[in-house]
Amino acid sequence: MDTGTFRGLITLVLLIAFLGITWWAYSKRRKPDFDEAANLPFADDDEQPSRDKPASSEDKADSRHDRGDKNT
Q: What is the pLDDT along the chain (72 residues), one digit of tens a residue?
A: 899 999 999 999 999 999 999 999 999 999 999 899 999 998 886 666 666 666 555 555 555 556 666 676
Q: What is the torsion angle, in degrees rounded to the nearest 10, for the CA atoms of residue 58, residue 59, residue 62 and residue 67?
A: -140
Backbone dihedral angles phi then psi of residue 69, each to the nearest 5 degrees: -70, 125
Q: Quick one: how far is CA 24 from the chain centroid?
A: 22
Question: How confident is the model at residue 7, as a pLDDT?
Answer: 97
CA-to-CA dists, residue 60 to 11, 27, 57, 64, 66, angstroms: 63, 58, 5, 6, 10
Question: How confident is the model at residue 19, as a pLDDT?
Answer: 98
Backbone dihedral angles phi then psi of residue 40, each to the nearest 5 degrees: -60, -40
